[in-house]
Amino acid sequence: MVGRVAFAVPGDLATLTGGYAYDRHMIVELAKLGWKIDLVNLGDGFPRPSQEQRKTAQERLAAIPAGRPIVIDGLAFGALPEVAMQLSQHHPLIALVHHPLAIETGLSAVQAGDLLASERRALTAAIRVVVTSATTARLLVADYGVPEDRIVIACPGTDAVAAARGSNDDIVRLLAVGAIVPRKGFDVLIGALATLTDLPWHLTIAGDRGRDPEAAAQLDADIMRYGLGGRIAVPGAVSRERLAELYAGADLFTLASHYEGYGMVFSEAIACGLPIIATTAGAIPETVPAGAGVLVAPDDAAALAAALRRVIENREERRRMTAAAREAAHSLPNWQDSAKLFARALEDAI
């Protein structure tokens, strides 16, 4: 069964984050399966839009013909409970939850509570909920009251790529990829690396610096405070071509996330055969297979530093982890299979 569906996304679909990349891939692959996709830009400001931004989103959603299924990205869906309830009277609604809004790092208890209540209410209006990991599925059942039979798990796909060639000198090239926001734990990563200045490493952090200017300023301050300006490059958001070059030239991928609903960058690193040093937060243990990575508790700079030291110092350890990552890459889902799972949610909704 195929049909026509509106796919509603907050802001610019070309935004360079994992969530938007997932949306782009799904739109392309669903179209290949025969679905007619109407892209709806809900505007900026989510997940905490102004009254004017909320009104704009509501008007654009209200303009969608009655009866047409609507997929709404979770960055906006959870912030629009009243709109979702109204839309559900005339449309099958499919919520796409990358990770719940209330678990974003840096929120106050009041902000987190408000977002949890808002998203929980909005999700009652969804006939199907697509999530990107089993971890998120369990969380929605336990904390948000979403019935298990409404949830479809469609993990992100991964493109096949050549194995990373790594560095050609004695410097171990570290790569971290993610928007500069508190949830990515860059403060923990910089703190850990500050204790490893006796080792030969260089870190590149590739990610959007505009999402949270305060977090970006704090990252710069931390790098300066520890005197690591010559050892850490922060080029900001980079093109897909440049990102591919960074993966190809890296020896090790590392990220100190406080939470990940899936973490597409970890799959991308595995596809390149990169060893991974990261945390046990959220769905990361689902994504990073045994042998290919070392995972430590979130917000534990000492444990992260110990893991980094062990792998940076030991070339043979890196080789073993590289072999495990390359083996695991064969089992990564592709975007075509992920889209088929997503399409099942659309068919069920219709």
pLDDT of 106: 87
Spell out the domains of the chain, with CATH numbers in brackets: 4-157+333-349 (3.40.50.2000), 172-329 (3.40.50.2000)
Report yes or no: 47 and 115 within 8 Å, Cβ to Cβ: yes
Report yes or no: 308 and 175 within 8 Å, Cβ to Cβ: no
pLDDT of 39: 97
Give 23-57 pLDDT, tens digit per residue.
999 999 999 999 999 999 999 999 999 999 999 99
pLDDT of 350: 86
pLDDT of 290: 85
SS3 content of the chain, % helix, strand, coil (to 5): 45, 15, 40
Give the amino acid at 228.
L
pLDDT of 67: 95
pLDDT of 165: 94
Q: β-strands 276-279, 293-296: how paired? A: parallel
pLDDT of 152: 97
pTM of the model: 0.91
Burial status of residue 182 (CB atoms within 10 A of its CB: 0-12, 13-18, 19 or more): middle
The SS3 call for residue 338 is helix
Using left for φ > 0, alpha for ψ between -120 and 50, and beta otherwise, residue 2 falls in beta
The residues, any chain, with a CB within 8 Å of residue 180's CB and separated by 6 or more, are 186, 205, 207, 208, 209, 211, 212, 215, 216, 219, 234
Q: Give the span between the Cα atoms of 266 and 270, in whole angstroms.
A: 6
Q: Give the span between the Cα atoms of 167 and 155, in whole angstroms.
A: 31
Q: Give the span between the Cα atoms of 329 and 288, in whole angstroms.
A: 10
**What residues pair up with 278 in beta bridges, in sequence order?**
295
pLDDT of 18: 86
Q: Give the span between the Cα atoms of 144 and 136, in whole angstroms.
A: 11
The reply to whether omega before 333 is within 30° of 0 (cis) is: no
pLDDT of 160: 84
Burial status of residue 26 (CB atoms within 10 A of its CB: 0-12, 13-18, 19 or more): buried
Q: Which of 4, 68, 59, 76 is nearest to 34 (CA)?
A: 4
Give 138-159 pLDDT, tens digit per residue.
999 999 999 999 999 999 999 8
Report yes or no: 288 and 295 within 8 Å, Cβ to Cβ: yes
Give 259-287 pLDDT, tens digit per residue.
999 889 999 999 999 999 999 999 999 99
What is each CA distance from 341 to 112, 155, 157, 226, 263, in whole angstroms?
A: 30, 9, 11, 46, 19
pLDDT of 205: 98
Give the residues of the chain that fall short of pLDDT 50. Answer: none
pLDDT of 15: 87
